[in-house]
């Protein structure tokens, strides 16, 4: 019997579904916003209808796991499949309601979906529920944003890979499979097929994998002449891409979607005189250290860059970054946000690097804004998202590094995205930009970056937008160039 879609697929979704639905293992490396979750839902429903599975375990970042239950399954899973789903929260593990919901899901007659977070599956209660679910039901196990297990030595990675024998079918999904380097695909692919790298390339260990595809150099690591290895670049990437194509598919938005283009805008502001004075003294101190011949590792460069950004954001940092006290009489970055909010109508996402900034923005705009960063509880973030989707909030204020807000969610309601200040992570930037640049977006979203004049802000933003990532761009010599 032909599978009947609840929602019609786009051409690339249909092609991928038909080519992969019966495969035991596959990776959907589709760019954010191309609708890879729909392919996953349709695959699971089709496998259920053919009698192959009756359970789906989805492991995703916090918040994204809820999105599967509240959006993707509801929207795409056919009603005749009789789906029942549970978004598991580790913070509610001890409640009777969640325990009862878990028991009901295990006993459900129909296709049962259990969505858990990467952190939740590591708790004793979460691990027990996942094991019980995999043992009781014939399951497809899916890792959404699978680059979360890129470190093969991490406890999380090992725990998830240990469940592989219990899952009849396995899927991984990621729009950024190579988040920071080609090394990031090694562990996620082992979840799909523990023998893949051995069978295809004769590679038995992660170290061998790194030396097969990495080019390493040696540099000074501090006093005493100690040396350390570092990655200078990569090699044989054509071989890696060809090998990955045997177990995964890659889809880019520009190839399959007719989305309106992104529009980038910079808004400049002058720092408060006291703030500018402190910034200049700190910058001059760093330049003097360079001129004295001081060694500057990439880590030191990133720390100094962070210190300078804290100053442009209105804070004097302590040595351990635990205390940020205001500098300057007027926070001109915050004043600029007031202007931008008035200049750009409609709903907005405001991305802030620091918790203090999130708190200040929310305090300034009151009921017009909802806080959704790591300080908010799971329930508070859920309510914030619901209010934003329903139009009860004009602004969603968060940190790009907040798992589940900057990844996996569709926030097409926003037509303006403000980067109040930037994370230095290329992955955070790409993921956060694409929350509103997805299927269903009918307007060109505006991305507004705030830039403190005569500061490193502009160089950082240019590196991120050009898809290089600050961490990859900045080493000691590069920071010297940026400061001058």
Reported as a single tens digit per residue, the pLDDT across 324-351 is 777 878 889 999 999 889 888 889 999 9
Of residues 441 and 141, the one with the higher pLDDT is: 141
How far apart CA 154 and CA 345 sit, in angstroms, is 45
Is 98 in the same domain as 162?
A: yes
Domains: count for the chain: 2
Is 277 in the same domain as 403?
A: yes
230 assigned to some structural domain: no
413 assigned to some structural domain: yes
Q: Name the average pLDDT for the chain.
A: 86
237 assigned to some structural domain: no
Is 171 in the same domain as 281?
A: no
Q: 469 pLDDT band (50/70/90 cuts)?
A: very low
pLDDT of residue 188: 96
pLDDT of residue 479: 47
234 assigned to some structural domain: no
284 assigned to some structural domain: yes
Residues 170, 25 contacting (CB under 8 angstroms)? yes
Closest listed residue to residue 99, CA positions, set 109, 88, 84? 88
How far apart CA 279 and CA 273 sit, in angstroms, is 10
How far apart CA 126 and CA 378 sit, in angstroms, is 16
Per mean pLDDT, which range of 8-22, 269-283, 287-301, 460-474 is the poorest? 460-474
pLDDT at residue 477 above 50? no
Query: What integer is the mean pLDDT of 47-65?
Result: 92
Is 304 in the same domain as 409?
A: yes
**Residue ending a domain, choose from 255, 290, 325:** 255
**Residue ending a domain, choose from 255, 277, 301:** 255
pLDDT of residue 327: 80
pLDDT at residue 473 above 50? no
Residues 195, 164 contacting (CB under 8 angstroms)? no
Of residues 444 and 310, the one with the higher pLDDT is: 310
Is 176 in the same domain as 141?
A: yes
| Structural domain that includes position 274 | 263-483
pLDDT at residue 394 above 90? yes
Query: What integer is the mean pLDDT of 448-466?
Result: 80
Q: From the CB of residue 313, how many other CB atoms can be counted at a distance below 10 Å?
A: 26
Is 164 in the same domain as 288?
A: no
Q: 244 pLDDT band (50/70/90 cuts)?
A: very high
pLDDT at residue 454 above 90? no
Q: How far, in Å, are 254, 298, 448, 481 from residue 291 at the CA level?
A: 45, 17, 35, 12
Of residues 105 and 433, the one with the higher pLDDT is: 105
pLDDT at residue 138 above 90? yes
The neighbouring-strand residues paired with 82 are none
381 assigned to some structural domain: yes
Is 251 in the same domain as 271?
A: no
Is 291 in the same domain as 406?
A: yes
204 assigned to some structural domain: no
Identify the CATH number of the domain in which residue 189 sits: 3.40.50.10810
Closest listed residue to residue 174, CA positions, set 162, 164, 187? 187
Identify the CATH number of the domain in which residue 474 sits: 3.40.50.300
**Reported pTM:** 0.72
**Residue ending a domain, choose from 255, 272, 295:** 255
Report the run of H or E that residue 315 belongs to, with start and end: strand 315-317
Residues 433, 144 contacting (CB under 8 angstroms)? no
Is 96 in the same domain as 41?
A: yes
pLDDT of residue 472: 42
How far apart CA 55 and CA 116 sit, in angstroms, is 13
Is 275 in the same domain as 407?
A: yes
Mean pLDDT: which of 72-81, 201-210, 433-442 is highest?
201-210
pLDDT at residue 369 above 70? yes
Is 268 in the same domain as 152?
A: no
DSSP 8-state assignment for residue 192: H
212 assigned to some structural domain: no
Of residues 458 and 309, the one with the higher pLDDT is: 309
Is 251 in the same domain as 285?
A: no
Residues 441, 417 contacting (CB under 8 angstroms)? no
How far apart CA 127 and CA 42 sit, in angstroms, is 26
469 CB-near residues (< 8 Å, 6+ apart): 180, 424, 425, 426, 427, 429, 463
């Amino acid at each position: 019997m032909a599978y009947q879609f609840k929602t019609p697929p786009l051409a690339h979704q249909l092609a991928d579904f038909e080519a992969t639905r019966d495969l035991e293992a596959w990776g959907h490396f589709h760019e954010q916003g191309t609708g890879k979750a729909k392919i996953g839902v349709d695959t699971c429903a089709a496998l259920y209808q053919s009698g192959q599975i009756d359970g789906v375990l989805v492991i995703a970042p916090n918040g994204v796991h809820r999105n599967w239950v509240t959006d993707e399954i509801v929207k795409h899973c056919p009603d005749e499949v009789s789906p029942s789903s549970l978004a598991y929260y580790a913070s509610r593990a001890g409640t009777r309601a969640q325990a009862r919901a878990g028991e009901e899901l295990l006993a459900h007659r129909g296709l049962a979906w259990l969505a858990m977070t990467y952190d939740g599956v590591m708790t004793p209660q979460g691990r027990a529920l996942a094991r019980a679910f995999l043992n009781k039901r014939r399951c497809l196990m899916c890792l959404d944003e699978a680059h979360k297990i890129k470190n093969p030595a991490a406890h999380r990675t090992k725990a998830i890979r240990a469940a592989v024998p219990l899952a009849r079918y396995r899927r991984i999904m990621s729009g950024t499979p190579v988040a920071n380097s080609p090394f990031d695909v090694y562990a996620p692919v082992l979840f799909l097929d523990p023998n893949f790298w051995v069978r295809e390339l004769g590679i038995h260990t992660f170290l061998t994998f790194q030396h097969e595809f990495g080019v390493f150099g040696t540099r000074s690591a501090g006093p005493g002449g100690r040396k350390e290895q570092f990655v200078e670049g990569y090699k044989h990437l054509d071989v890696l891409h060809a090998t990955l194509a045997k177990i995964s598919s890659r889809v880019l938005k520009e190839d399959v979607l007719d989305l309106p283009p992104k529009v980038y805008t910079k808004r400049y502001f002058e720092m408060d005189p006291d703030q500018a004075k402190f910034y200049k003294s700190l910058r001059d101190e760093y330049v003097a250290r360079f001129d004295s011949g001081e060694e500057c590792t990439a880590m030191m460069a990133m720390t100094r860059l962070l210190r300078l950004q804290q100053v442009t954001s209105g804070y004097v940092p302590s040595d351990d970054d635990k205390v940020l006290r205001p500098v300057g009489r007027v926070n001109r970055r915050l004043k600029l946000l007031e202007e931008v909010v008035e200049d750009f109508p409609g709903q907005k996402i405001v991305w802030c690097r620091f918790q203090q900034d999130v708190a200040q923005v929310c305090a300034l705009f009151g009921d017009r804004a909802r806080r959704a960063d790591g300080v908010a509880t799971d329930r508070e973030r859920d309510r914030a998202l619901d209010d934003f989707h329903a139009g009860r909030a004009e602004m969603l204020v968060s940190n790009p590094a907040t798992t589940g807000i900057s990844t996996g969610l569709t926030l097409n309601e926003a037509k303006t995205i403000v980067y109040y200040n930037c994370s230095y992570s290329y992955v955070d930037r790409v993921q956060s930009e694409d929350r509103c640049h997805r299927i269903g977006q009918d307007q060109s979203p505006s991305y507004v970056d705030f830039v403190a004049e005569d500061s490193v802000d502009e160089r950082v933003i240019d590196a991120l937008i050009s898809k290089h990532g600050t961490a990859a761009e900045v080493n000691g010599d590069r920071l010297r160039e940026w400061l001058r």
